[in-house]
Structure 1
Amino acid sequence: MSDILSINNIRVLCAEMVEEAKSGHPGAPLGLAPFVYILFKNYIRFDPEDSKWINRDIFIFSNGHACTLEYVIRHLCGYKIGLEDLKKFRQLGSITPGHPEFGVTDGVEASTGPLGQGISNAVGYAIALEKMKLYNKESLSIFDNRVYCIFGDGCYQEGISHEAFALAGHLKLSNLTFIYDSNKITIDGPTSLSMSDDSVLRFKSYGFEVEIIEDGDSDLKKMEEILNKKITKTKVIILNTTIGKFSELEGNAKVHGAPLGMENLKKLKEKLNFGEEKFLVKNEVKEIFEEVIQRNKENRKVWNEKIKKYRIKFPEIYEEIFRKEKTVLKISYENQSGKIATRKHFSDALNENISKFKHLIGGSADLTPSNLTKWKESEDFTAENRKGNYIRFGIREHAMMGICNGISYFGHHFVFCGTFLNFITYGFPSLRLACLTNLKVLYVMTHDSIGLGEDGPTHQPIEVLPLLRATPNLTVLRPADGRETRFCLKFAYENDGPTVVCLSRQNLPDLNNSSIDLSYNGAYFIKESENSEIILISTGSEVCLALECAEILQKKNKKVSVVSMISFELFEKQSESYKQKILPPKVIKISIEASSTFGWQKYSNFQIGIDSFGKSAKYEDIYDYFGFTPDKLSDRILSLL
């Protein structure tokens, strides 16, 4: 009876939170409460006084709209979430937002809500934990934590779920358990409106171990039986639940995303033997969770003793695991003769400095030979080789970026991923959440303009740079040569947030006055003329064109300076005096970039760019077609003046 009382207390609290906020999703928590209760009571290992304990089990709600259930269960488990926080659900400044946000609510492991994201995050966490197991010794094992991820019918339907499930199964991530909250309801109504696939066959096709709980509303014994089983590969538990269980709208789509209403809430509480008192946690329930908390504290003490022994026996490895100091990467570069693509420069920089990186994990969405992201000493991370540090993500850009988020959430590894810049939009929802959460992820995006040539407008990222530059918390870098590209690697390693590096397919010359140090300013003079009449501002592969153009204009008695603007975001962080020194208000400024002109109006009086889709041809011909040659640019500039 005590378990039933606890479950019903959780249900009531979830419903009350939504009612108090006059907003939210009561349906899923009412159905999922039994399983989440059993999971936290008997299986999840945690330390409420140290929610980032490195050997904790990871719990993710991919169907983040059910977050009241996570907030309530973590409140009961002693996390830094008080009853007052539950009452402030969805209110300005609260630590209980409308969907889970990493870094806002104690214990929350991932920012979820856009459906399916948590599934990919869970795969990332599982990979990170597999890497941690490499520190275990035969005589002393210190890492054995697991990942549990709940997802619903909406997550199931999202394409990212297939991408992430497929890779999880391929990698045989046996430390990962998915729980499919199959209540067979979406916003429009029953799932039969839009799906008729066989979920069991789908999961088996990934190589998952599949378990089914027919009565997810009340069969606690079956839940424990399944959770007690030894796991040898990725597991999915299909949990058949009833949305809005015990409410007047039980099994109805209307209970998904709106408060029950005062009258229906009252009936729910009466049905579950709760009185009128709001936000009540019954004493018997408190006692149950006090025991849960105490047991987990004891488990933590045992682990602490193990880690003390580990520190004595393996001091150097211990330091490698727990060292926290910020690393500043020292990189230098001497100009090379000839022309080299910045994607090749990035590859060279990675290989030149690979010994300086600790805990590096990288990968590409099946574009390794094009992105040049695999360094010489790397090994593939596979089901057979957990020592590997390079992930073959396959053609799965969306899941790749979500998986990198999961790796970054765990916090032990420096992670990067690669694809063509145009295809960053295939994974943009994951990138956006990395920005929302300010995750340290590096995106190595090659083939960054019309310069990729013959593949044509389907692959040429005209509108992508403005999209990325408009995204909060994201630093976008577009280097012009080898020196600036090495700055990009250095900056991304030192940066605490997400970084996109945009790299050329075509070969480019090294520039005499480019600078690693000055790149930190976001923009600097790469050619400065006294008493300039014109300042050309450019990025990446167009900086060399701007320099050639300046030479032509100077022969026509124009005083021209050239600014390399490697990053809008870094430039915006500079002082007003520096900004005005680089871009003086009274001097005519003209931007040159083989991309959309959107956003350049802030910095330039005139914009030279491409506001249409590209062409399929040799890149030299495309540049000529759009007027991106030194002669055509200089003529255009003179006509603007």
Structure 2
Amino acid sequence: MNSELDQLSVDTIRNLTLDAVQKAHHGHLGMPLGAAPLGYTLWRYFLKVNPANTEWFDRDHFVLSAGHGSMLLYSLLHLAGFPLSIADIKQFRQLHSLTPGHPEYGKTAGVDASTGPLGQGFAMGVGMAIAEAHLADRFNKPNFPVINHYTYVISGDGDFEEGVCQEAASLAGNLGLNKLIVLWDANKVTSDADLTASNTENELQKFAAMGWNTLEVADGNNCREIYNALSTAKRCSDKPTLIKVNTIIGYGSTLQGTNAIHSDPVSEQEAEHMKEQFGFTDKEDFYVPEEVKHWFSAVKERGAKAEQNWLSLKQNYLKQFPQLGQQLEQIMTNELALPDFTDIKITGELATRAASGKVLNDIYQLYPILVGGSGDLGTSNKTTINNKFFMSKHRYQGPNIYFGIREFSMAAIANGITLHGGLRGYTGTFLVFSDYMRSAIRQAAIMNTPTIFVFTHDSLYVGQDGPTHQPVEQLMSLRAMPNITVFRPADNNEVKTAWQLALKSATTPTAIILNRQPVPQLAGSDSIKAEKGAYIISEAANNNPTGIIIATGSEVSLAIAAQTILADQGVYVRVISMPSWELFSEQTPEYQTKILPVNIKNRMSIELGATMGWQQYVGLDGVRMGYDHFGESAPASDIIKMIDFTPQHAAQLYLNSFPK
């Protein structure tokens, strides 16, 4: 270490932060100013990355969970030689810039996760550490550690107040993820007040109780002390490590140590005072000393050398273990071939959740990149990969995870697994609990991350568990989210389509919505046609329909039964299976018109849930058969009888709405 250059580098980060926030007239000053020494020490001395190859597979992963302090990350990326220029930093928080208000995955090279919603970055870091442990356990051999990297997270006091963080920390401790190191920016201040106004817990003791190795840095401005703590953390072989770094928010300001410096720019006079504190009074804005540029070049040199050593190791590994090496290479490069879904055979009258479980298990045998599980509902969700290990401390080879009853963190952790690369995270729970997960699902959609979310028990057919467990509005809620494919299959064939599309997706998460009760295998269902989101599953008996019934999931068989009743009365309708609104909306206008001819005005939707939104397909004068109320606790058959959700009622409702 070099105390003089260390301090100059830290002050450079602080000065860049000040200039960027002042120029943007917006942003968060406090966190980067206080945490600059810990961010600097990690990046300059420990982080294994190659700025010349930002996607190097065996690089260390870094997550700034306290994403509001984004200028800390942008300063580090620039100084370390990533493709982020001073011109980019000058565009902080401006339209289409590479330096948005919070870090955005896929927009800025070197950003491993989109963060800002507190706690989720921490949980995604746990997912990345799980991915590393799983791949290392599967592929590493004595003297061949081809998967060998750390996940580093910088979190703040606000992260630790979020439940998702505590859920993820508990699981990480239980799994003993020793390649996970979290630096806690403990500045004891939140946006509105001192931390003690809302939290006086001893977090170190809490984390220790959750199975973490805990360390503390008394002086967050002491780079040597931070260095020693990180060195100690890396020597821990059986636990994740939390390092509490006692920092001063807004260091260098007259407002330091208070919530007044948490966010927003400062006055011109205050900015001048801060520049004097950092030693940049006589320098132009966004100035980076040449000595700092040269000093930081060590990051790039270290990373390039580490990658070259790894490439040599990998080549020898491929020679020694050709079959295993080929699979690893395919996983790392996303070139593992998808299985042929036509070879997957599912027969019989099954609940779609059961069909999904069969598909999942068949897929994994040929496409072993799936890692995930359920929120303590694996037997109900059918999300367990059979005859494979569940992960446990020091045993990570199995693809199954006992997430426990931690739905929010389960979703965020699955995002981290997917973001890591080489693997696809998936989750399972009841559809009604998607509400717990919604923010993490939204993050997946924002990040263009193809995590797979399996939801079962999709309607009032849940029955005796009652209204708390019977989803009504959740399906529509998911459909309202941009950049997610929601797929509600009607039978075995459409279940196969759901999984095939989920695995094909490179930039969109998928929600697979499954039922609890058995449904028939429908004569007209078609796996290929279902890929378009909607298709004619049963044409009118006379091939000249005067009306259309659109249905999804288990209600498709109900619609076909209603079609038969109507035909007996001389009314001929077409039945459309529409498993995915999103996929149908992507089809050509010609295809959409073919399925839903504009001249056929008599339209009806059938879906056992909220009806809001179906107007776009049936029109304002169309009929929406659904349920816009909470349910009851009773056997499913009694509930269905109570609301008369039957083919006979559907046919009569159609006739009443569209008299002959």
Which bracket does the TM-score occupy, shorter chain normalised? over 0.9
What does residue 560 of structure 1 align with?
A: 573
Unaligned runs of 5+ in 2: none
The 5-angstrom pairing of residues 437-456 of structure 1 reads 437-456=447-466
Could you tell me the TM-score, scaled by structure 2's length? 0.95
What does residue 651 of structure 2 align with?
A: 634
User: Which of structure 1's runs of 4+ aligned residues deviate more than 6 A?
Assistant: none
What does residue 200 of structure 2 align with?
A: 196
What does residue 516 of structure 1 align with?
A: 527
Alignment CA distance shift 1:527-1:364 (3 Å): same
CA contact (8 A) 2:44 2:298 kept: no
Give the match's secondary structure for 1:507.
coil
Q: What is the CA deviation profile of residues 306-364 of structure 1, one whole-angstrom value per residue up to 9, with x for unaligned ones? A: 22222332233222122233634322366745x32111111122233332212221200
CA contact (8 A) 1:448 1:503 kept: yes
What does residue 295 of structure 2 align with?
A: 288
Residue 279 of structure 1 deviates from its aligned partner by 0.5
Residue 467 of structure 1 deviates from its aligned partner by 0.9
Q: C-alpha separation between the residues in 1 aligned to 2:448 and 2:346?
A: 34
Q: C-alpha separation between the residues in 2 aligned to 1:252 and 1:36?
A: 21
Letter matched to residue 303 of structure 2: N
CA contact (8 A) 2:48 2:302 kept: no
Residue 517 of structure 2 is aligned to residue 493 of structure 1? no
Q: Choose which of 408, 429, 437 in structure 2 pairs with 1:427.
A: 437
Letter matched to residue 517 of structure 1: I
What does residue 534 of structure 1 align with?
A: 547
Could you tell me the TM-score, scaled by structure 1's length? 0.98
Residue 248 of structure 1 deviates from its aligned partner by 2.0
Q: C-alpha separation between the residues in 2 aligned to 1:558 and 1:84?
A: 68
What does residue 365 of structure 1 align with?
A: 375
Q: Choose which of 568, 581, 590 in structure 2 pairs with 1:577.
A: 590
What does residue 623 of structure 2 align with?
A: 606
Residue 178 of structure 2 is aligned to residue 178 of structure 1? no
Q: Choose which of 221, 227, 252 in structure 2 pairs with 1:246.
A: 252
Give the match's secondary structure for 2:244.
strand
CA contact (8 A) 1:326 1:494 kept: no
CA contact (8 A) 2:182 2:243 kept: yes
Give the match's secondary structure for 2:63.
strand
Q: What is the CA deviation profile of residues 141-197 of structure 1, one whole-angstrom value per residue up to 9, with x for unaligned ones? A: 222210110111111100001100000000000001111111111111101111121
Residue 623 of structure 2 is aligned to residue 620 of structure 1? no
Q: Choose which of 540, 559, 571 in structure 2 pairs with 1:546.
A: 559
Q: C-alpha separation between the residues in 2 aligned to 1:493 and 1:140?
A: 30
Give the match's secondary structure for 1:18.
helix
Residue 263 of structure 2 is aligned to residue 257 of structure 1? yes
Answer with 328-337 or 524-533: which moved more: 328-337
The 5-angstrom pairing of residues 141-180 of structure 1 reads 141-180=145-184
Give the match's secondary structure for 1:453.
helix
Give the match's secondary structure for 2:465.
coil
Residue 364 of structure 2 is aligned to residue 354 of structure 1? yes
CA contact (8 A) 1:335 1:510 kept: no
Q: C-alpha separation between the residues in 2 aligned to 1:297 and 1:69?
A: 23
Q: What is the CA deviation profile of residues 189-218 of structure 1, one whole-angstrom value per residue up to 9, with x for unaligned ones? A: 1011111211121111111111111111x2
Letter matched to residue 136 of structure 1: N
Residue 264 of structure 1 deviates from its aligned partner by 1.3
CA contact (8 A) 1:330 1:490 kept: no
Q: Choose which of 64, 76, 80 in structure 1 pairs with 2:79.
A: 76
Give the match's secondary structure for 1:177.
strand
Residue 109 of structure 1 deviates from its aligned partner by 0.5
Residue 24 of structure 1 deviates from its aligned partner by 0.5
Q: C-alpha separation between the residues in 2 aligned to 1:313 and 1:101?
A: 39
Q: Choose which of 236, 245, 253 in structure 2 pairs with 1:231.
A: 236
What does residue 69 of structure 2 align with?
A: 66
Give the match's secondary structure for 1:203.
helix
Q: What is the CA deviation profile of residues 262-310 of structure 1, one whole-angstrom value per residue up to 9, with x for unaligned ones? A: 2211111112211241000011111101233223322222222222222
CA contact (8 A) 2:127 2:412 kept: yes
Q: C-alpha separation between the residues in 1 aligned to 2:345 and 2:396?
A: 37
Q: C-alpha separation between the residues in 2 aligned to 1:257 and 1:348?
A: 51
What does residue 322 of structure 1 align with?
A: 329
Residue 534 of structure 1 deviates from its aligned partner by 1.2
CA contact (8 A) 1:11 1:33 kept: yes
Give the match's secondary structure for 1:142.
coil
What does residue 311 of structure 1 align with?
A: 318
Give the match's secondary structure for 2:464.
coil
Q: What is the CA deviation profile of residues 503-524 of structure 1, one whole-angstrom value per residue up to 9, with x for unaligned ones? A: 0011111110101000011001
Answer with 357-366 or 509-518: which moved more: 357-366
Letter matched to residue 616 of structure 1: S
Q: C-alpha separation between the residues in 2 aligned to 1:351 and 1:593?
A: 29
Letter matched to residue 158 of structure 1: E
Letter matched to residue 313 of structure 2: K
Alignment CA distance shift 1:626-1:583 (3 Å): same
Residue 123 of structure 2 is aligned to residue 101 of structure 1? no
Q: What is the CA deviation profile of residues 411-433 of structure 1, one whole-angstrom value per residue up to 9, with x for unaligned ones? A: 11122110001101101111100
Q: Choose which of 504, 523, 526 in structure 1 pairs with 2:515.
A: 504
Q: C-alpha separation between the residues in 2 aligned to 1:328 and 1:495?
A: 11
Alignment CA distance shift 1:511-1:292 (3 Å): closer
Letter matched to residue 152 of structure 2: Y
Alignment CA distance shift 1:272-1:376 (3 Å): closer
% same residue: 38
Letter matched to residue 520 of structure 2: P
Answer with 610-619 or 22-31: which moved more: 610-619
Q: C-alpha separation between the residues in 2 aligned to 1:418 and 1:334?
A: 23
Q: C-alpha separation between the residues in 2 aligned to 1:551 and 1:512?
A: 14
Q: Choose which of 450, 470, 474 in structure 1 pairs with 2:484.
A: 474
Q: C-alpha separation between the residues in 1 aligned to 2:171 and 2:58?
A: 24
Q: What is the CA deviation profile of residues 370-404 of structure 1, one whole-angstrom value per residue up to 9, with x for unaligned ones? A: 11111322210111421111000000000000000
Answer with 366-375 or 353-362: which moved more: 353-362
Q: Choose which of 27, 43, 65 in structure 1 pairs with 2:30.
A: 27
Residue 594 of structure 1 deviates from its aligned partner by 0.4
Residue 549 of structure 1 deviates from its aligned partner by 0.6
CA contact (8 A) 2:337 2:367 kept: no
Give the match's secondary structure for 1:637.
helix
What does residue 223 of structure 2 align with?
A: 220
